[in-house]
Amino acid sequence: MKTIVFFPEAAFGPALNSVGIAQEVEKLGHKAIFICDKGFEGVFKGYGFEEHTISMSEPMSAEAMAKYWVDFINGHIPNFNRSPYEQIDTYIKDCWEAIVETSVWAEKDLPKVLEDIKPDVVCIDNVILFPATKRYGKPWVRILSCSENEISDENIPPYLSGCSENDKEGFQKFNNKFLETVAPIHEKFNNFLKECGEEEYPLGEFFEPSPYLNLLLYPEAVKFKRSKKLDDNLFHYLHGCVRKEEDYTVPSFKKNNDGKLIYLSFGSLGSGDIDLMKRLIETLGDSKYRVLVNVGDYKSEYESIPDNIIVESWYPQPSVIPQCDLVIHHGGNNSFTECLYFGVPAIIMPYVWDGHDNAMRAQETKHGIKMHRSNWEKDELLKNIEDTINDIEISNNLKKASDFMQSDNGAEKAAALIVDLN
């Protein structure tokens, strides 16, 4: 029996993707253990896994630690209406600074935790690598739960840019500003790598592939056309990597109980924009649809809810989406992939990170549509909902994508690849 360690970043998207793979690892008779930021303590225990925590930021109270990334995101709400290009010197800059800091802090605790656990394989789902992972001396795996363009290629849009695949002028414009903005942050990271005995990264690059195995949680239907094909021996696409969750029964609604069902969620962090969520609830409350709304930790902020809407702090999303006629989401890779997996059309309203990339990709491959998160009118949103639900081309494309993805069983494939490493 092998011991497999999973170390996802402190966000529910990567965390739950790793849970899905870990579930399959244990089905194969091996032990799956999680390492996580102290702010994520308890998440993996809730799924029955052994859990070890490390500090990935300066010392703070348990309450502050748990809210670190929530507060970070909420502090940037005014920037969410900006374009990806305009976010480079605001959200993106601040985010990369914080991410580099997490790598520096992780280096203090991670070596000892790895020695205590003594895993046979270490799986990292983070946008940045921790040097201790390499120095531990066992095979290590990169899991990419964000958009595929995190692995750069001159022929595809820059990561986080939200560019169309044909917008080569936009590629260059975004890259120029990105490199200029992150240069000081990148220098700090390279100095840290040198202190750890690691080689420096080229300017602008924060991703280092594993020489053992790299798993991309990105569907075939939306893959980019690369100028340089990724090595099939080292890079594996997990087209159907969707975790198992408890069953969900759609409750009865006080109004529109026979209407089409919509699921609205902006992820574990996006629910902090309460004003936007209330505006969406008000708009959808005056429609012919039924709506399930995920409001995260802010349920107490919602006192008056329309009779055709049910608000909850959490839903078992992979059990909810297959029962829906449409999903409105933020473009996070979990929501993006799950809609494709279950063949459910989506309206994507991105606000940060790879949400912009996924929204553009859904639209240009005709698997959904993108909308600005707040620059819309009531009639526009309702029309887009109706048009998207009834779009024959989108429906046919989703059927093909879903059939392929559900035949692939990505989580099972990932587990087999991981446990076979020597």
Give the Cα separation of 138 and 122 in Å (integer).
Answer: 7
In a domain, 47, yes or no: yes
Do 305 and 291 fall into the same domain? yes
As a whole number of angstroms, the distance between CA 176 and CA 341 comes to: 35
Position with higher pLDDT, 5 vs 46: 5
**Residue-wise pLDDT tens digits, 71-81:** 777 777 788 88
Quick check: 106 pLDDT over 80?
A: yes
8 Å CB contact between 419 and 31: no
Residue 291 has what pLDDT?
A: 97
For residue 250, tell me if it sits in a domain: no
In-domain check, residue 386: yes
Q: Return the CATH number at 37.
A: 3.40.50.2000
Identity at 316, one-letter amino acid code? P
pLDDT of residue 64: 61
- What would the mean pLDDT of 13-41 be, rounded to a whole number? 89
Question: Has residue 43 got a pLDDT over 90?
Answer: no
Residues 131-181: pLDDT tens digits?
999 999 999 999 998 889 999 999 999 999 999 999 999 999 999 999 999
Residues in contact with 284: Cβ distance below 8 Å, sequence separation at least 6, in sequence order: 262, 264, 291, 306, 308, 309
Task: Supply the range of the domain harboring residue 78.
Answer: 3-243+408-419
> With 70 as the cut, is the pLDDT of residue 67 above it?
no
235 shares its domain with 283: no
E strand or H helix at 184: helix 168-195
pLDDT range class, residue 239, cuts 50, 70, 90: confident
Q: Give me the chain's average pLDDT, please.
A: 90
Q: Are residues 318 and 387 in the same domain?
A: yes
Whether residue 40 is found in the same domain as residue 112? yes
Binning pLDDT at 50, 70 and 90, where does residue 218 land? confident
**Cα(324)–Cα(342) distance, rounded to whole angstroms?**
10
Residue 61, pLDDT above cutoff 70: no
Asked if residue 239 and residue 270 are part of one domain, the reply reads no
Whether 351 is covered by a domain: the verdict is yes
Rounded mean pLDDT, 358-377: 94
Confidence label for 111 from pLDDT (cuts 50, 70 and 90): very high
pLDDT at 63 over 80: no
DSSP secondary structure of 14-44: HHHHHHHHHHHHHHTT-EEEEEEEGGGTTTT
Residue 66 clears pLDDT 60, i.e. is over it: no
pLDDT at 385 over 80: yes
Confidence of residue 68 (pLDDT cuts 50, 70, 90): low
147 with 234, same domain: the answer is yes
Helix/strand/coil for 180:
helix
Structural domains counted in the chain: 2
% of the chain surpassing 70 pLDDT = 96
- 187 and 272 co-located in one domain: no
Same domain, 174 and 138: yes
